[in-house]
Amino acid sequence: MRRAPVSSSAIRSIGYDPQNQILEVEFISGRVYQYFDVPEFLYRGFSLARSKGEYLNTRIGDRFRSEELALKAFNLQLSTSNLPTQLL
């Protein structure tokens, strides 16, 4: 998903998939989270909010199921396609 950089002390970039209603947030720390079933109007409000961190915490944070993407990337690295052939 493409993300756009934002002006925030806590959030580096945000993106949104309107078809699947997935909001993706990259934090300054480098962690990336996806929030599921987020209505587009909340994404628009988030992208326009003066304080992105406050908006995320009060309107999205604990209200929507979320998942950290780094865990998916780590699991992909452990797939058998990345193992040396003598281990297969």
Q: pLDDT tens digits for 55-66?
A: 999 999 999 999
Dist CA 23 CA 18 (whole Å): 9
Predicted pLDDT at 66: 97
pTM of the model: 0.79
Cross-strand pairs, 10: none
pLDDT tens digits along 16-55: 999 999 999 999 999 999 999 999 999 999 999 999 999 9
Dist CA 77 CA 70 (whole Å): 11
Q: CA of 16: how far to CAs of 4, 77, 79, 87, in Å?
A: 10, 25, 28, 40
